[in-house]
Amino acid sequence: MRTEQELKNVVREKYAKIAEQGKVENAASCCGATDPSNKVYNIMTDDYTETEGYVSDADLGLGCGLPTQFAQIQKGDTVIDLGSGAGNDCFVARHETGAEGKVLGIDFTPAMIQKARTNAEKLGYNNVEFREGDIDNMPVNDDVADVIVSNCVLNLVPNKHKVIGEIYRVLKPGGHFSISDIVLIGELPEALREDAEMYAGCVAGAIQKDEYLGYIEKAGFETVTLQKEKPIIIPDDILEKYLSAGEIEEFKKGETGIFSITVFAVKPGGGASEKQKIKLSELQSNDCAPGSGCC
Please provide the DSSP assignment of 93-159 as one string. HHHHH-TTSEEEEEES-HHHHHHHHHHHHHHT-TTEEEEE--TTS-SS-SS-EEEEEEES-GGG-S-
In a domain, 253, yes or no: yes
Report the alpha-carbon distance of residue 108 to residue 123 in Å, rounded. Answer: 23
Asked, for residue 234, whether it belongs to a domain, the answer is yes
Instruction: Tell me, yes or no, whether 289 lies in a domain.
Output: no
- 287 located within any domain: no
The series of mean pLDDT values per 10 residues for the chain, 295 residues long, is: 80 82 54 45 66 82 88 97 95 96 96 95 96 97 98 90 97 97 89 71 83 97 95 84 88 87 94 48 45 38
Give me the CATH number covering residue 104.
Answer: 3.40.50.150
Residue 37 domain-assigned (yes or no): yes
User: What pLDDT does residue 295 have?
Assistant: 38
Q: Are 229 and 260 in contact (CB under 8 A)?
A: yes
- What is the structure's pLDDT at 40? 27
pLDDT at 189: 86
Query: Which strand (E) or helix (H) includes residue 26?
Result: helix 23-27
Length of the chain: 295
**CA of residue 233 relative to chain centroid, distance:** 18
Number of domains comprising the chain: 1
- The domain of 8 spans 4-271
Q: Is residue 293 part of a domain?
A: no
Residues 150, 18: Cα–Cα separation, whole Å: 18
CB 91 within 8 A of CB 73: no
**Whole-model pTM?**
0.85
181 found inside a domain? yes
